[in-house]
Amino acid sequence: MQLSPTNGDFTFVSSTEAEDLSGTIDAPDVKLNMGSDNAKDPYATTFLRKRGYGWLLEVDEDDPEDNKPLLEELDIDLKDIYYKIRCVLMPMPSLGFNRQVVRDNPDFWGPLAVVLLFSMISIYGQFRVVSWIITIWIFGSLTIFLLARVLGGEVSYGQVLGVIGYSLLPLIVIAPLLLVIGGFDVVSTLIKLFGVFWAAYSAASLLVGNEFKTKKPLLIYPIFLLYIYFLSLYTGV
């Protein structure tokens, strides 16, 4: 006697009939609900989010641009500054330096460092004039810029500021010599004149271009006087 009882979705068959049966059983996707996301969070986190203060828990992802080196962040190129220093200290065209980079690619930090260095060495015996040096650099460069523009020169104030600042380097170079031979008036005067001519030539050769033509002395002369005044701030004479 063959029995085929049923129980819901299951059908009981005999062992002989089971040999001929084949197929698959499709199981529906089963999702386990372990609770809401808030259940995983600490009590304080859940409380803040319910009160509308969830933004306090947000963490900004690190921006690669915020991790730049300090020199790059301040736009300081030490190699460029070193090259410009060499261009000013060795103004002879025969040396092969591209000196026009001092004028055509001006920067602020290099000239400022030179002016601050000149201010530091001027502290020796002339502390009261240190406050004047940066002022004279800024307003003296402004005077040269305005005069250059009136004469037809195509220069910007930033270019003049950079050239005048860098060209203080010759005065810094002769400063130790003046300390050593300060007692020899004739030699000291010659070194001072050499330093002023060196600084003025470095600045004038960069700022006085072919566009001035016959008006070059009108710009070279105030540049020369400016560096004489800078030297007087250092020597007190």
Nearest of 62, 78, 58 to residue 70 by alpha carbon: 78
In a domain, 70, yes or no: no
Longest pairwise C-alpha distance within the chain: 140
What pLDDT shows up at residue 66?
Answer: 56
Q: 181-222: per-residue pLDDT in tens?
A: 867 788 888 999 999 999 999 998 888 877 666 777 888 899
In a domain, 45, yes or no: no
In a domain, 61, yes or no: no
Rounded CA-CA distance 215/196 in Å is: 21
In a domain, 47, yes or no: no
Highest mean pLDDT among 23-27, 145-149, 209-213: 145-149
In a domain, 216, yes or no: yes
SS (H, E, C) 55-84: HHHCCCCCCHHHHCCHHHHCCCCHHHHHHH
DSSP-H helix ranges across 76-168: 78-89, 100-104, 109-121, 130-150, 157-166
Residue 33 has pLDDT above 80, yes or no: no
Mean pLDDT of all residues belonging to the chain: 76
Beta bridge partners of 11: 6
Considering its fold, how many domains does the chain have in total?
Answer: 1
As a whole number, mean pLDDT of residues 46-60 equals 62
As a whole number, mean pLDDT of residues 219-234 equals 89
Nearest of 113, 115, 109, 120 to residue 70 by alpha carbon: 109
Q: Kindly write down the DSSP assignment for every residue of 29-57, as one continuous string.
A: P-------GGGTS-HHHHHHHHTT-GGGG
Angle at alpha carbon of residue 111, lines to 210 and 78, rounded to 5°: 105
Give the confidence band of 46 by pLDDT, cuts at 50, 70, 90: confident
Residue 27 has pLDDT above 60, yes or no: no
In a domain, 189, yes or no: yes
> What region, left, alpha or beta, does residue 3 occupy, with left being phi > 0 and alpha being psi -120 to 50 degrees?
beta
Rounded CA-CA distance 206/103 in Å is: 6
In a domain, 195, yes or no: yes
In a domain, 125, yes or no: yes
What domain range includes position 93?
Answer: 78-235
